[in-house]
Amino acid sequence: MLTRSDDLQILLSVIDSGGFSAAADNLDIQVARVSRAVSKVEKQLGVTILNRTTRRIELTDEGRQFVESVRVGLLHIHQAEEQLISRGELPAGRLRVDAASPFVFHQLVPLIQSFKKAFPDIQLELTSNEGFVDLLEKRTDLAIRIGKLNDSTLHARPLGKSLLHMVASHEYLAKRGVPKKVSDLSGHDLIGFTGSKVLNRWPLAGIDYIEPNLTASSGETVRQLTLAGNGIACLSGFMVNKDIAAGRLVAVLEQGKLTNTDREQINAVFYKSSSVARRISAFIDFIHPKLSL
């Protein structure tokens, strides 16, 4: 007997949500329906997919292999359905887009209203994560990634480069002085990132990584800390170009700055066989010429 695809979707929701109750909430169905679906799949396969405890669930080795195949299989089914539905029509349906919070705030949000007018049948869903997300696991169609790409299974469309700037507020520089050379940074408060060493690599010759006095996980938080006079930070131009132009922030050490670093690259990434290719193309083609990187 073949396993029904809706039961498999429920199984994936349990795994992605971390539990039966959370899956039921996400799918807006009863917990009993979730439990029956998972038990039915296990019974039909004759194997245990999930080890259940009172606090959590864990995939068995057999379950892990099965779930990986299920994700790919359901994706192919969805692709076939989408291709039939979308023939001869303007792009329509849900498009899930993920990007770092600062990119969402400073680049995407200003474009959303005009995008929705141009493509009223695309239901846009924006998420923001500070790290790279697994597109399949998080059910994301398109991700905007900043920095060097390492995943060869994804298709990438370059969106451009955003120069890095070492910036500080007028208030901070008035109190602490303007650094003229890299060695002057040792006498300053430096704002960096938590948990991602590569983001603390500043484009300056002679130093590999800075040692920040203050850290945050979000680029927008780092920007706000810098605007509030807490020190010097290194941020992408797409976040601070307007602040520099308006005089809210001052760029320092520009003469000694290195260019063409990995952190400058910005790409739109998605799976090559994505069933939402027309929606993805519509979104990228719309935002690309309008970005201010």
**DSSP letters of 4-42?**
PHHHHHHHHHHHHHTSHHHHHHHHTS-HHHHHHHHHHHH
Q: What is the per-residue pLDDT for 27?
A: 76
pLDDT of residue 140: 77
pLDDT of residue 258: 86
Domain 93-162+264-290 shares a fold with domain 164-258: yes
Q: Determine phi and psi for 268, rounding to 5 degrees.
A: -100, 125
CATH of domain 164-258: 3.40.190.10
Note the pLDDT tens digit of each residue in 77-95.
666 656 555 555 667 888 9
Q: Return the pLDDT at 76.
A: 66
On the 0-12 / 13-18 / 19+ scale of CB atoms within 10 A, 210 is buried
Q: Can you give the residue ranges of every domain in the chain?
A: 5-86, 93-162+264-290, 164-258
Residues with pLDDT less than 50, the chain:
1-2, 133, 136
Q: Please check whether residue 119 is in contact with residue 97, taking contact to mean a CB–CB distance below 8 angstroms.
A: no
Architecture of domain 93-162+264-290: 3-Layer(aba) Sandwich (3.40)
What integer pLDDT is reported at residue 84 of this predicted model?
53
pLDDT at residue number 16: 76
Fold type of domain 5-86: Arc Repressor Mutant, subunit A (1.10.10)
Single pTM value for the model? 0.66
Residues contacting residue 127 through CB under 8 Å, at least 6 positions apart: 96, 97, 98, 133, 138, 140
Spatial CA neighbour of 226 closest among 112, 102, 126: 102
pLDDT at 133: 46
